[in-house]
Amino acid sequence: PSLNFFHRVVAVIISCVLIHVVVSLKTPVSEEQSRLTWVDLGGHSPGELKSLATLALLVVAILAALGGLMISGQLTAPIAALLAAATTLGAFAINSLRRSQSGKHTKKAWWAEDRNWAAILCATAVWMHFYFA
C-alpha cells in the first residue's frame, strides 16, 4: 500500500503534541495563567461536554462509514468528500445552534465569528482528505 501526503499530518500532530508537552512541563506557570483552563473559562457544563462528545463520536462514525463505502467502491471519492465536508459543517452548525439557544452566544455577523471560519477550514480539510485519498 502507498501512503499519500496527508499521512505526514499524523507525524506532525504527534511531534507537535510532544513538543507542547515538553514545553509545558519545562515552563513555570503563574497563578493567573493556571486559571485559564478550558472549564474555568466557562460555558462548558458537564451536559454540554457530553452532548459535544456524542456529536463528535457520531461524526467520526459517519466519516468512518463514508471511508468504508469509498474503499469498497460503493462511493466515489468526490461524492464521499462532499458528504464528509457536509457532515463536518453540519456538526459545527448543530453545535452553533445549541450555543445560540443557550443564550451564551453574542450575535455577530457570520464573517466576524471565528467558529464559522474554523468550520469552513475543517470542512475543507476533511474534503481534501477524502477527495485525494
**Average pLDDT value for the chain:** 85
pLDDT score recorded for residue 56: 94
Helix (H, G, I), strand (E, B) or coil at 128: helix
What is the SS3 assignment for 4?
A: coil
In terms of pLDDT, which residue wins out, 48 or 27?
Answer: 27
| pLDDT value of residue 10 | 82
**DSSP letter, residue 45:** -
Distance CA 117, CA 68 (A): 29
Give pTM, 2 decimals. Answer: 0.67
- Which helix (H) or strand (E) is 34 found in, with range? helix 31-34
Statement: residue 44 has pLDDT above 70: no
Identify the helix (H) or strand (E) that includes residue 38: none
Least confident of 6-10, 15-19, 100-104: 100-104
pLDDT at 113 (0 to 100)? 77
Whole-number pLDDT of residue 19:
96
pLDDT tens figures, 101-129: 766 656 777 677 788 899 999 999 999 99
